[in-house]
């Protein structure tokens, strides 16, 4: 039997008997079912019905007032700041000690013993319904995690079987798809609080997409989001916005002081070939950690030469020597030297175009020429020589990617 139908039957029955407005929410106060209004409603209830959820501040307010471990109905204190201007009876919905949601009854007068008995019985029945649903969902979610994990296997037959199962079992649509990876500043295993935050962030980001267009997985040190943008309100050009939404949900759990980057792989037309997109997204995160100018949400195509360098193992890159003159300048903690190096990098990024570089840096051409000559003198490099320019340009990229600048 459908859980939504069962919950709706339950709240309608209680509302009819009590002649009061009744609703059921999940643990984060996302609305699951509600009755017709037998009494007036306040702005908190209206917002819950219109948006199917309430602000995090209101959810936190409710959780602060829930008696720990109790399933007894209680009166939630009024709080006009959050739109709680009508008395309401709340019964925690539990299965054993696990909180599965809340049953709400709006009050026009204090509850009597008969209403309390009805509410207790309804909360027990709702607990059975939600536990059964959560158990089935956990089994399905476990299977989904296994298949998503297998999509990134090194064994192609394993990837092909996982892709086939996801599509045949109606867990994911066909067509083009890509991978987003969210990770913190290191490759260390996520601590419990960060792992939970990553899971919640991925779940909430999935709600931006229709069913069968998004999958997710939390790996030991990062989160993975698989997206099929076709036929949604998120075409591929808007994927960086999805990356920003994912970051925002993650930071909302842990605080803005946390550091997290999102890498976006290229689109692939086969689910079984998404391991390539996954590798690209991982490299994009790796590059973004060091090349801060790229931003916090980075597509693989935006990495440029950094993406090529990142394919070389990091320990090998660190052993690659830089031009001695460039290395000597990078080692100096002198603001003027840093300005000269930044000017040379901009000049090389602009393919040696003096006019474009001067405009970008908002300096006169004469100042630009002076800085370039000064760099040549200090580093012992001739920027008119193509080989020297290439050595310097790659050296600057390499230094940034390996944390040497």
Same domain, 272 and 243: yes
Please state which of the ranges 130-134, 257-261, 310-314, 335-339 shows the lowest mean pLDDT.
310-314
pLDDT score of 8 more than 70: yes
Q: What angle do CA 343, 346, 349 make, to 5 degrees?
A: 150
C-alpha distances out from residue 100 to 27, 51, 81, 210, 363, Å = 6, 20, 26, 25, 62
Give residue 5's pLDDT.
Answer: 86
Domain count, the chain: 3
Task: Provide the pLDDT confidence category of residue 175 given band limits of 50, 70 and 90.
Answer: confident
pLDDT tens per residue, range 51-86: 888 888 999 999 999 998 898 999 999 999 999 999
Same domain, 31 and 121: yes
pLDDT tens per residue, range 16-25: 999 999 999 9
Rounded to an integer, what distance in angstroms lies between the CA atom of residue 30 and that of residue 35?
15
Please state which of the ranges 36-50, 181-195, 389-403 shows the lowest mean pLDDT.
389-403
Same domain, 96 and 217: no
Same domain, 300 and 353: no
pLDDT tens per residue, range 247-272: 999 998 887 788 999 999 999 998 99
Same domain, 320 and 306: no
Same domain, 249 and 341: no
* Highest mean pLDDT of the ranges 89-98, 175-184, 246-255: 175-184
Same domain, 187 and 257: yes
Residue 363's domain spans which residues? 316-402
* Domain presence at residue 383: yes
Same domain, 247 and 344: no
349-376: average pLDDT = 90
C-alpha distances out from residue 90 to 17, 212, 396, Å = 17, 35, 62
Rounded to an integer, what distance in angstroms lies between the CA atom of residue 243 and that of residue 259?
14
Which residue, 81, 114, 134, sits at the end of a domain? 134
Q: Which residues contact 127 (CB under 8 A, 6 or more apart)?
A: 71, 93, 94, 95, 100
Identify the CATH number of the domain in which residue 118 sits: 3.30.450.40
Same domain, 78 and 115: yes
Same domain, 337 and 232: no
């Amino acid at each position: 039997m459908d859980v939504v139908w069962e919950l709706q039957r339950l709240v309608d029955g209680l509302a009819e008997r009590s002649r009061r407005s009744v609703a059921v929410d999940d643990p984060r106060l996302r609305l699951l079912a509600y009755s017709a209004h037998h009494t007036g409603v306040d702005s908190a209830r209206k917002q819950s019905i219109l948006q199917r959820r309430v602000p995090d501040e209101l959810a936190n307010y409710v959780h602060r007032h829930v008696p720990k471990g109790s399933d007894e109905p209680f009166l939630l204190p009024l709080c006009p700041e959050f739109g709680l201007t009508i008395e309401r009876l709340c019964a925690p919905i539990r299965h054993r000690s696990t909180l599965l949601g809340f049953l709400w009854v709006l009050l026009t007068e204090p509850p009597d013993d008969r209403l309390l008995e009805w509410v207790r019985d309804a909360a027990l029945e709702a607990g059975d319904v939600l536990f059964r649903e959560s158990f089935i969902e956990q089994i399905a979610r476990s299977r989904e995690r296994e298949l998503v994990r297998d999509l990134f296997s090194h064994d192609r037959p394993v990837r092909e079987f996982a892709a086939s199962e996801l599509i045949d079992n109606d867990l994911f649509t066909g067509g083009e798809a890509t991978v987003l990876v969210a990770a913190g500043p290191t490759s260390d295993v996520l601590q419990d609080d960060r792992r939970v935050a990553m899971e919640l962030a991925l779940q909430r980001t999935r709600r931006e997409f229709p069913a069968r267009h998004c999958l997710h997985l939390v790996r030991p040190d990062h989160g993975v989001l698989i997206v099929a943008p076709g036929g949604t309100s998120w075409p591929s050009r808007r994927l960086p916005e999805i990356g920003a939404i994912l970051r925002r949900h993650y930071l909302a759990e842990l605080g803005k002081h946390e550091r997290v980057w999102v890498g976006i792989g290229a689109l692939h037309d086969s689910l079984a070939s998404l391991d390539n997109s996954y590798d690209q997204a991982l490299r994009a995160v790796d590059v973004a950690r060091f090349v801060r100018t790229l931003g916090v949400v980075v597509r693989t195509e935006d990495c440029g030469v950094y993406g090529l360098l990142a394919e070389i193992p990091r320990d090998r890159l660190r052993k690659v020597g830089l031009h001695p003159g460039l290395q000597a300048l990078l080692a100096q903690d002198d603001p003027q030297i840093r300005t000269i190096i930044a000017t040379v990098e901009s000049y090389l990024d602009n393919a040696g175009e003096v006019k474009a570089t001067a405009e970008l840096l908002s300096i006169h051409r004469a100042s630009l020429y002076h800085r370039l000559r000064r760099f040549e003198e200090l580093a012992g490099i001739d920027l008119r020589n193509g080989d020297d320019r290439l050595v310097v340009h790659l050296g600057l990229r390499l230094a940034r990617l390996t944390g040497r600048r």
